[in-house]
Structure 1
């Protein structure tokens, strides 16, 4: 589906009195449709959801931060804008009023906080008297902090411990307040660790990738909540047409298993499918660390509200199901 476009100079606001411009191609407005979603940050979750909604006739638009990704997303049929949240483009913000649904998938940044909520007044003025009726902010279960291994539901007191988790909670509050000011209830999805095709323990083993900082932090945890990207999309799609009764939902699977257990299972699957593939050895646990560890971040996150109120039946209730589906889709490890 094509839309009219203009070429011009997009003005970015900078803190202070400086301005700079960048020549970009901007859509005047999305095509007329009853279902129009704008995704602030078309990352792993956003792209997966976008493909599903696009196949159902939705107009899907969003933002990314580089030309290569923009071209890839446009080739998929999406309307995409290059966007720097620190220097928001007024033209793009003005387009928001034409959309019925708004997914926020941009994480906070250390030293800055939520990069978009710095410009809350601009966003608010863009959305007033617009078509917006649904806003979902993708947050993290890290806002609960260390719960000593307890089962945590959405009514459990939040107690973020590190700076990023504190900023996550502040972002939740900021987007929630903005939605209420616009006259509708927001959705806050607290996600576990996200995995799926091309982003899993199997992919890490096959590609011999070093562990991410997040993975390293979780190495010695007894519990790590996670969720397959397809189940996140299930939960999102369950709320799009029918507003749920609550605002906050934990989006996790049924099995908060330790990371080492997940990687052991992934290794067995890889070795079974491709015997002889030379994999790096799994990291050995340092028993002294395990025995004396401070259980920071330890919690078992409940998904009962998601199941009962959103009607989500998990496609992948545990990592075993999720990893099996991922390896079944991979034809070659190279």
Structure 2
């Protein structure tokens, strides 16, 4: 679904004002943002602490303020990348422990329940120029934010927001029998969550269209990177899950290193194309067994005396497993390369895993890595 409506040029003043109404009186933010804390009992899951960070960089980065709705694995890496480039980055998470950890990285983090979106957080969101949506869909619910679309429109209809991107998944294509699929391929999701993902794509594209904001969808392949790779799985030596065993029978899986996702996002910011959908994958769709075999080789080469035999995914199960819910497909990334100008850092899992292995300490990592 491509919506070809160009975003209008908007005037951005030298200062901005955001009004919060958390209690009986208004709180205004002008040129010098202050800090407001509303503390409540931790036992109440609906109430939480809101912090508006005193960040003097905001006035100097009027066009570089990113809000990440749902800071997960990708969001955390992307946030750190942007902060290193001088951006002001804020976002949401769902646990106090994660909030505290992310704050130490320099992020302005807010606890948030997407099923019951708090207007205080949405009022903070509308101060930002860019919005990355990285919230998963849930069974029987779908995207938890879209049922509140009118509330979103109210809070995002301002002179600041200019770019929006929704992170989706290549699972929306369904089982394609190993065929090569690009963005023109008709999605045919084969399970409920994938169908809800497709509906979420359409919902966010429609919202962006109504707001006149350059809105994009990124369909991500299997995400891997530091702390989340075949190397980490082997080293941890944990039990193989049912889903992992199912994936072992797949002939093809399209993957993407987290560093390349960040590069694609930054390229999209500089080259917005309203309504466009992009496949974000590398050049080398490969079976999981092949990837784990290569990871095992890297581990044994680096720690020959410590790991004589590395674990690998089971391939000789007595039970015949159905195909993975993502289905066999080879996903094409030509639009990403041509339109966004992305040059992959890791065009293959081989390069990506080698980089991860090289970054690990020479001593054998513990199971907590």
The equivalences for 1:40-189 within 5 A come to 40-189=69-218
* Corresponding position: 1:22 with 2:47: yes
User: In structure 1, what is the Cα distance between the partners aligned to 2:54 and 2:120?
Assistant: 10
Equivalent residue, structure 2, for 1:5 = 35
Equivalent residue, structure 1, for 2:3 = none
Say which is worse superposed, 274-283 or 176-185, in terms of deviation: 274-283
Are residues 187 and 209 of structure 1, via their aligned partners in 2, closer, same or farther at CA, if it must alter by over 3 Å? Answer: same
Equivalent residue, structure 1, for 2:358 = 328
Q: Please give the secondary structure, in 2, of the residue aligned with 1:328.
A: helix
Are residues 264 and 300 of structure 1, via their aligned partners in 2, closer, same or farther at CA, if it must alter by over 3 Å? Answer: same
* Corresponding position: 1:312 with 2:342: yes
User: In structure 1, what is the Cα distance between the partners aligned to 2:147 and 2:245?
Assistant: 31
Structure 2: runs of 5+ lacking an equivalent: 1-31
Q: Please give the secondary structure, in 2, of the residue aligned with 1:227.
A: strand
Does the 8 Å contact 1:225/1:256 carry over to 2?
yes
- Equivalent position to 2:330, from 265, 275, 300: 300
Structure 1 residue 113: Cα displacement: 0.9
Equivalent residue, structure 2, for 1:282 = 312
Equivalent residue, structure 2, for 1:13 = none
Does the 8 Å contact 1:151/1:302 carry over to 2?
yes
Q: Please give the secondary structure, in 1, of the residue aligned with 2:342.
A: coil
User: In structure 2, what is the Cα distance between the partners aligned to 1:124 and 1:213?
Assistant: 41
Say which is worse superposed, 67-76 or 198-207, in terms of deviation: 67-76
TM-score under structure 1 normalisation?
0.91
User: In structure 1, what is the Cα distance between the partners aligned to 2:215 and 2:243?
Assistant: 28
User: In structure 2, what is the Cα distance between the partners aligned to 1:125 and 1:295?
Assistant: 40
User: In structure 1, what is the Cα distance between the partners aligned to 2:359 and 2:330?
Assistant: 30
Are residues 117 and 217 of structure 1, via their aligned partners in 2, closer, same or farther at CA, if it must alter by over 3 Å? Answer: farther
Are residues 213 and 313 of structure 1, via their aligned partners in 2, closer, same or farther at CA, if it must alter by over 3 Å? Answer: farther
Are residues 285 and 59 of structure 1, via their aligned partners in 2, closer, same or farther at CA, if it must alter by over 3 Å? Answer: same
User: In structure 2, what is the Cα distance between the partners aligned to 1:21 and 1:261?
Assistant: 46
Structure 1 residue 213: Cα displacement: 5.2
Deviations 1:161-202 (A, max 9, x none): 011100110110111111001012311000000000010000
Equivalent residue, structure 2, for 1:230 = 259
Equivalent residue, structure 1, for 2:289 = 260
Does the 8 Å contact 1:269/1:327 carry over to 2?
yes
User: In structure 1, what is the Cα distance between the partners aligned to 2:113 and 2:313?
Assistant: 38
Deviations 1:34-81 (A, max 9, x none): 210100111111111111111111110001111111111111111000
Q: Please give the secondary structure, in 2, of the residue aligned with 1:60.
A: strand
Are residues 27 and 9 of structure 1, via their aligned partners in 2, closer, same or farther at CA, if it must alter by over 3 Å? Answer: same
User: In structure 2, what is the Cα distance between the partners aligned to 1:9 and 1:68?
Assistant: 16
Does the 8 Å contact 1:179/1:185 carry over to 2?
yes
User: In structure 2, what is the Cα distance between the partners aligned to 1:213 and 1:95?
Assistant: 41
Are residues 111 and 24 of structure 1, via their aligned partners in 2, closer, same or farther at CA, if it must alter by over 3 Å? Answer: same
Q: Please give the secondary structure, in 1, of the residue aligned with 2:47.
A: strand
User: In structure 2, what is the Cα distance between the partners aligned to 1:169 and 1:216?
Assistant: 26
Equivalent residue, structure 2, for 1:38 = 67
Runs of 4+ with >6 A deviation? 287-290
Pick the structure with more strand per residue: 1
Equivalent residue, structure 2, for 1:244 = 273
User: In structure 2, what is the Cα distance between the partners aligned to 1:73 and 1:283?
Assistant: 33
Structure 1 residue 217: Cα displacement: 3.0
Q: Please give the secondary structure, in 1, of the residue aligned with 2:204.
A: helix
